[in-house]
Amino acid sequence: MKETVVKEPKGKAPQAGASEVVLPQLGFGGMLRWAWRQLTSMRTALFLLLMLAVAAVPGSLFPQRPSAPAEVTQYLKDNPGSGPIMDWFRLFDVYSSPWFAAIYLLLFTSLIGCVLPRAKIHWKAMRSAPPRTPKRLSRLAEYGTVTIPAGSGIDAETAVRDAAAVLKARRYRVDVRDLDTDRPSVGAEIGFMKEVGNLIFHTAMIGVLAAIAFSGLFGYSGQRVLVEGETFVNTLTGYDTFTPGANFGEGRLSPYSATLDRLVVKYDRSTEAHYGQPLDFTATLSVKDGPGAEAKTKTLKVNEPVAVGGTNLYLVGNGYAPVVTVKDGEGNVAFQGPVITIPTDGAYTSLMVIKVPDAKPKQLGFVGFFLPTAVYNDEGVAFGSDPDPFNPVLNLNAYTGDLGLDSGVPRNVFTLDTSGMKEINSRNLDAGGIVLKPNQSYTLPDGNGTISFDGIKRFAALDIRHDPGQAYVLVFALLALAGLMGSLFLNRRRVWVRTGNHPDGRTMVEFGLLARGEDHRLAGEYAAINKALHAKWLVPMDAAGQNDDEQIIINDSAQSVTAASKDQ
Amino acid sequence: MPEINQSFALLSERLMLLAGLAYAVAFCAYAWDLFTFSQAAKRGLAADTRATAAAAGVEKDAVLAGVGSGAARGSAGQDLGAGPQDRGVRPSSKTHAGSDGVTAGDSMRYGKERRVVARVAVALTILAAVVQGFAVLFRGLAAGRVPWGNMYEFCTTGSFAVAVVFLLVLTRRDLRFLGTFVIGLVLVMVVAASVAFWTPVGHLVPALQSYWLVIHVSIAVLSSAFFTLTFAMSVLQLFQSRREASIGSGKPDKFHVMRLVPNALSLENLSYRINGIAFVGWTLTLMFGSIWAEKAWGRFWGWDTKEVWTFVIWVVYAGYLHARATKGWTGTRAAWLSIVGYLCVVFNFTIVNVYFSGLHSYAGVGS
Ligand code: HEM
């Protein structure tokens, strides 16, 4: 608190004395108290804030595991020397790293250590009378006088009560004092909400952090890719990937289901410049709240999640899932169904892998591309030119052999390990690559079976999230905002008015204003009070200018007001 | 989705070009104003030196500084008739020590002299802003949506916001000395938009089709416009305080132009106020951005690059506000923080948008 001094317009030499810390000769307890005072000092808060800003930056420079795990793996592969060292410093998990946590935990500790004593001081200040009237009001930042003419019937005591009424009407808290003397005065104060706002703001920051931690404990999230016609059931097995919070129990999942009926995608066809740019993704879901419940139709769009069973469903991706049938060498259907592909560009050139472990006599694997609109260049190489399926083509290479699925090593469904396999179809072989249009079928060489392209479906990638903390985050954020605005835009001021009876019958009034902290509107407040006082006593305003020359300092002891302003 | 209106789009680009030209001329006028003022100051100073040869040394110092009290200007400084009329003070300090009619300080009232060139510059700025306003409007009409969906539009609408905010503040405070810097920045933005970021009018990608785009981006742009003002003021503050220190130590005033600029303390106080408003704006930007992120991606915070930098900016300016209340950190150091904050804003807007990949990669450049 002692650091929030009233600032004086002296020369600027901020360097001096800023970092002189003298270690006191104290015992262990004293050291602790000293350390605590250092930690909760304004300078430390500032330092930690700046540290926090700096510490957040590396997370934007390097790929981060939570959002881009594949890029991190790639980075480590590309930088075998520096990568592991950076990893040791947690530069790929900046926001969950101990050093990042250390900074914000210290900051919040400092915050608590700062807020509590401030709250106590302010609580006291709010319940005590405005500070005593300074001896020399003329030394205050704003100072004015009013002279009530003789014969008006307003004596010093009436005037001071009037002044109190005027200030009260301006919502000041007033305290009339010294009525029994010949220099009665009133002390008034306003703007306690400024400090209250500041305290609310800082406390709410703690609330935001706590609410985020709460989310981490009780929330969960997962992903699921749904092909048109498929149904997601909200059980652990229904998810492709699942990230539980620290305090998650399976009982928290409510067993609703959602079927993707349709995914409609619209592309820009009206302008040349943005031809083929996506305009709209609309998924239609049939949602059942529980196993026996009635199905309701819901529309899911980007930016418009669907809320069901305590979770929200978000549409975060989409693509094509060509429907393929593979018959093996023995003529049995070894695989049938939509194959989810990974779009790699704006034309939905989509990477596709099919693994057929059930094929006999040998397992089959296919790798290639699905092109919604295939165009051929001079060399006959197909490439995608439009995201809509105007000329859909499957381009695949085929392999036989061991898919390596039985070895127990987890395999990515989107990559095919061909090390134990023999290539039987590709551009490099006499057999050539497999090129299929819808409803076409291809017979694999050497009696390995057939593959047919039966149709096209779309898939939607859904994020499913349950976050019980975010409502609290919002509440605390709004509180913080309100507190911040109060703290920044309200002004805390003190006003004192002192009156006295002049021997010639006039009643002399002087008043002064003092701001606590930044206050650029103090002059305006002065003018308003000046006007109100003149109006109260029906003294014409233009007389005020002359008053200034009269120098009616009622009390002229050499007491500096700065002492009064530093009442704490 | 409404059809794209190509003729409106063309009109918008023509108007934008026109506005750019007007800004360029206004920029020259502001610079010329500074130059002529500097010349006049030099001449006046020569006269002053003779006039004040007999005057008290203290007073002469004040006049030399060009930042002295109104009382000092009342004598020899009157010839110049320009420069701030009142003394800048921290609000809580006393202002009545002998100065006449001066109250709150910071009012940045200038002398009676009419700066014709500066008036022309402001008129040109108004003209340019009006034309640019129509350019922005027609861009929006052409696309049938708010005109801030890609870098070109952020830049053009953003520079418009800067110009408007500057003009609005001009009605309250005579900040014409800032014109060269602010309109210079506006010019840079318009040129960058047209040269580096130009994008034909188009519809929004689905990720941007949300009313949160209207709310979140408009507040971000507006706050950035305020930060632009305070950036320029903080830079000037650094120059001014060096000059004040040098004059204070008895060296001659070499930097006449800076007489036009209020004293460092007034600059600091005003930029603190504006930064306070802008900080609330940035807090809203951050909050609305989080709410939108929750709607779009299912989480309100995910340390996406853009989120990281929005956060960094917020924390830096929070640091700035703290600095103003920390002993030894007001004045020059606070100004540096304000500058660093603005550099982060610029970095977030340019480098992050263009070179960093992330969920926010829809700036419409590159791919
Ligand atoms: C999470 C970290 C913090 C943030 C984001 C933060 C932010 C802010 C902001 C934006 C302000 C200016 C608005 C206002 O006056 O309310 C402020 C003021 C203030 N903060 Fe913090 N703060 C943080 C931590 C702290 C800590 C740790 C302390 C104490 C050591 C502290 C002490 C103060 C004080 C005393 C003021 C009032 C300054 C004045 O009188 O102008 N803050 N803070």
Are the Cβ atoms of A12 and B209 closer than 8 angstroms? no
Which structure tokens are listed for A216? 């981490």
Give the model's pLDDT for residue B360: 62
- Residue-wise pLDDT for A85-115, tens only, equals 999 999 999 999 999 999 999 999 999 999 9
* Domain shared by B231 and B194, yes or no: no
Residue A534 inside a domain? The answer is yes
* Domain shared by A331 and A221, yes or no: no
The last residue of one of the domains, among A125, A143, A160, is A125
- Taking contacts as CB-CB distances below 8 angstroms, the residues of chain A near B299 are 221, 465, 467
Q: Under a CB-based contact definition with an 8 Å cutoff, are residues B233 and B267 in contact?
A: yes
> How many contacts does A have with B, using Cβ atoms within 8 A?
215
| Contacting residues for A370 by C-beta, under 8 A, at least 6 apart | A320, A322, A341, A348, A349, A350, A352, A392, A393, A394, A395
| Contacting residues for A415 by C-beta, under 8 A, at least 6 apart | A353
DSSP B215: I
Residue A390 CB coordination number (10 Å): 11
Residue of A nearest to B305 (CA): A60
| CATH number, domain with residue A512 | 3.30.160.110
Does any ligand 1 atom lie closer than 6 A to the CB of residue A42? yes
* Domain shared by B280 and B322, yes or no: yes
Does any ligand 1 atom lie closer than 6 A to the CB of residue A110? yes
* Domain shared by B273 and B153, yes or no: no
Residue A93 inside a domain? The answer is yes
Does any ligand 1 atom lie closer than 6 A to the CB of residue A484? yes
* Domain shared by B155 and B219, yes or no: no
> Band of the pLDDT at A391, cuts 50, 70, 90?
very high
The last residue of one of the domains, among B203, B222, B243, is B203
- Using CA atoms, how far apart are residues A177 and A155, in angstroms rounded to an integer? 15
Structure-model confidence comparison of residues A53 and B296, the more confident one: A53
Residue B169 touches chain A, beta carbons under 8 Å:
no
* Domain shared by B289 and B171, yes or no: no
Are the Cβ atoms of A481 and B265 closer than 8 angstroms? no
Determine the distance separating the centroid of ligand 1 and the alpha carbon of A194, expressed in angstroms: 12
Kindly list the distances between the CA atom of residue B194 and the CA atoms of A39, A518, B183, B342, in Å, as whole numbers in the listed order: 50, 42, 16, 23
ipTM: 0.85
* Domain shared by B196 and B295, yes or no: no
* Position in ligand 1 atom list of the atom nearest CA A197: 16
* Domain shared by A412 and A337, yes or no: yes
- Structural domain count, chain A: 4
Determine the distance separating the centroid of ligand 1 and the alpha carbon of B146, expressed in angstroms: 36
Kindly list the distances between the CA atom of residue A514 and the CA atoms of A9, A224, A489, in Å, as whole numbers in the listed order: 15, 63, 17
Residue A6 inside a domain? The answer is no
Q: Under a CB-based contact definition with an 8 Å cutoff, are residues A94 and A56 in contact?
A: yes
* Domain shared by A157 and A106, yes or no: no
* Position in ligand 1 atom list of the atom nearest CA B321: 12
Residue B90 inside a domain? The answer is no
* Domain shared by A351 and A451, yes or no: yes
* Position in ligand 1 atom list of the atom nearest CA A205: 1
Residue B92 has pLDDT above 70, yes or no: no
Residue B249 touches chain A, beta carbons under 8 Å:
no
Which structure tokens are listed for B104? 């709150």
Lowest mean pLDDT among A121-130, A270-279, B174-183, B326-335: A270-279
DSSP states along B107-146: ---B-S---HHHHHHHHHHHHHHHHHHHHHHHHHHHHTS-
Does any ligand 1 atom lie closer than 6 A to the CB of residue B322? yes
A306-308 and A278-288: which strand pairing? unpaired
* Domain shared by B154 and B298, yes or no: no
Lowest mean pLDDT among A51-55, A259-263, B170-174, B186-190: B170-174
Distance from CA of B251 to the nearest CA of A (A): 16
Angle at alpha carbon of residue A360, lines to A357 and A365, rounded to 5°: 40
* Domain shared by B278 and B168, yes or no: no
* Domain shared by A420 and A540, yes or no: no
Give the model's pLDDT for residue A411: 66
- Using CA atoms, how far apart are residues A402 and A424, in angstroms rounded to an integer? 13
Determine the distance separating the centroid of ligand 1 and the alpha carbon of A111, expressed in angstroms: 8
Residue B328 inside a domain? The answer is yes
Q: What is the largest CA-CA distance in chain A?
A: 126
CA distance between the termini of chain A? 9
Which residue segment(s) compose the domain that B122 sits in?
1-37+114-203
* Domain shared by A307 and A418, yes or no: no
* Domain shared by A507 and A425, yes or no: no
| Contacting residues for B251 by C-beta, under 8 A, at least 6 apart | none
Q: Under a CB-based contact definition with an 8 Å cutoff, are residues B163 and B187 in contact?
A: no
- Using CA atoms, how far apart are residues B164 and A335, in angstroms rounded to an integer? 65
The last residue of one of the domains, among B203, B234, B250, is B203
Determine the distance separating the centroid of ligand 1 and the alpha carbon of A109, expressed in angstroms: 13
Residue B330 CB coordination number (10 Å): 19
Q: Whose Cα sits closest to atom 6 in ligand 1?
A: B318
Are the Cβ atoms of B241 and A12 closer than 8 angstroms? yes
The last residue of one of the domains, among A106, A125, A144, is A125
- Using CA atoms, how far apart are residues A386 and A391, in angstroms rounded to an integer? 9
* Domain shared by A119 and A162, yes or no: no
- Using CA atoms, how far apart are residues A457 and A166, in angstroms rounded to an integer? 77
Which residues pair with residue A501 across a beta bridge? A507
Which residues pair with residue A398 across a beta bridge? A366, A425
Residue B95 touches chain A, beta carbons under 8 Å:
yes
- Using CA atoms, how far apart are residues A354 and A366, in angstroms rounded to an integer? 5
- Using CA atoms, how far apart are residues B312 and B315, in angstroms rounded to an integer? 5
pTM for this predicted structure: 0.84
> Band of the pLDDT at A6, cuts 50, 70, 90?
very low
- Which of A329-338, A474-483, A540-549 is modeled with the greatest confidence? A474-483
DSSP states along B52-75: TTSS-HHHHHHHHHT-S-HHHHHT
Residue A540 inside a domain? The answer is yes
| Contacting residues for A502 by C-beta, under 8 A, at least 6 apart | A150, A508, A552
- Structural domain count, chain B: 2
* Position in ligand 1 atom list of the atom nearest CA A114: 29
* Domain shared by B362 and B276, yes or no: yes
Residue B62 inside a domain? The answer is no
Could you say which of B90, B206, B321 has the minimum Cβ distance to residue A7?
Answer: B90
* Position in ligand 1 atom list of the atom nearest CA A111: 27
Could you say which of A60, A312, A480 has the minimum Cβ distance to residue B305?
Answer: A60
Which residue segment(s) compose the domain that A172 sits in?
133-191+491-565
Cα-based torsion angle of the residue sequence A75, A81, A87, A92 in order, rounded to the nearest 10 degrees: -30
Q: Whose Cα sits closest to atom 41 in ligand 1?
A: B325
- Residue-wise pLDDT for A161-204, tens only, equals 999 999 999 999 999 998 888 899 999 999 999 999 999 999 99
The last residue of one of the domains, among B203, B233, B263, is B203
Determine the distance separating the centroid of ligand 1 and the alpha carbon of A518, expressed in angstroms: 14
Residue of B nearest to A487 (CA): B276
* Domain shared by B219 and B301, yes or no: yes
Residue B328 touches chain A, beta carbons under 8 Å:
yes
Residue A159 inside a domain? The answer is yes
Give the model's pLDDT for residue A542: 65
Residue B5 touches chain A, beta carbons under 8 Å:
no
Strands (E), A467-554: 492-501, 507-516
Does any ligand 1 atom lie closer than 6 A to the CB of residue A516? no
Cα-based torsion angle of the residue sequence B263, B314, B279, A477 in order, rounded to the nearest 10 degrees: -150
* Domain shared by A372 and A417, yes or no: yes
Residue A204 inside a domain? The answer is no
A88 burial level (CB within 10 Å; 0-12, 13-18, 19+): exposed
* Position in ligand 1 atom list of the atom nearest CA A518: 41
Residue bearing tokens 């800082």: A202
* Domain shared by A452 and A334, yes or no: yes
Which structure tokens are listed for A183? 């220099």
Identify the residue among B86, B92, B108, B304 best suited for mutation to test binding to A, counting A beta carbons within 10 A and taking the highest.
Answer: B92
Residue B265 inside a domain? The answer is yes
- Using CA atoms, how far apart are residues B207 and A303, in angstroms rounded to an integer? 7
* Domain shared by A433 and A472, yes or no: no
Structure-model confidence comparison of residues A277 and B255, the more confident one: A277
Residue B68 inside a domain? The answer is no
Residue A438 inside a domain? The answer is yes
- Taking contacts as CB-CB distances below 8 angstroms, the residues of chain A near B305 are 60
> Band of the pLDDT at A560, cuts 50, 70, 90?
very low
| Contacting residues for B218 by C-beta, under 8 A, at least 6 apart | B146, B148
Residue A486 inside a domain? The answer is no
> Band of the pLDDT at B346, cuts 50, 70, 90?
very high
Are the Cβ atoms of B312 and A316 closer than 8 angstroms? no
- Residue-wise pLDDT for A330-381, tens only, equals 888 999 999 999 988 888 999 999 999 888 888 899 999 999 999 888 887 8
Kindly list the distances between the CA atom of residue B272 and the CA atoms of A143, A518, B64, in Å, as whole numbers in the listed order: 25, 9, 27
Which structure tokens are listed for A55? 């510490």
Are the Cβ atoms of B330 and A14 closer than 8 angstroms? yes
Which structure tokens are listed for B205? 């990608």
- Using CA atoms, how far apart are residues A494 and B2, in angstroms rounded to an integer? 58
Residue bearing tokens 């802003």: B129
Residue B98 inside a domain? The answer is no
Which structure tokens are listed for A242? 């699942």
Q: Which of A226, A334, A240, A236 is nearest to A287 (CA)?
A: A226
* Domain shared by A275 and A307, yes or no: yes
Angle at alpha carbon of residue B345, lines to B343 and B350, rounded to 5°: 95
> Band of the pLDDT at A544, cuts 50, 70, 90?
very low
Does any ligand 1 atom lie closer than 6 A to the CB of residue A114? yes
The helix (H) or strand (E) run that includes residue A288 is: strand A278-288
Structure-model confidence comparison of residues B36 and A228, the more confident one: A228
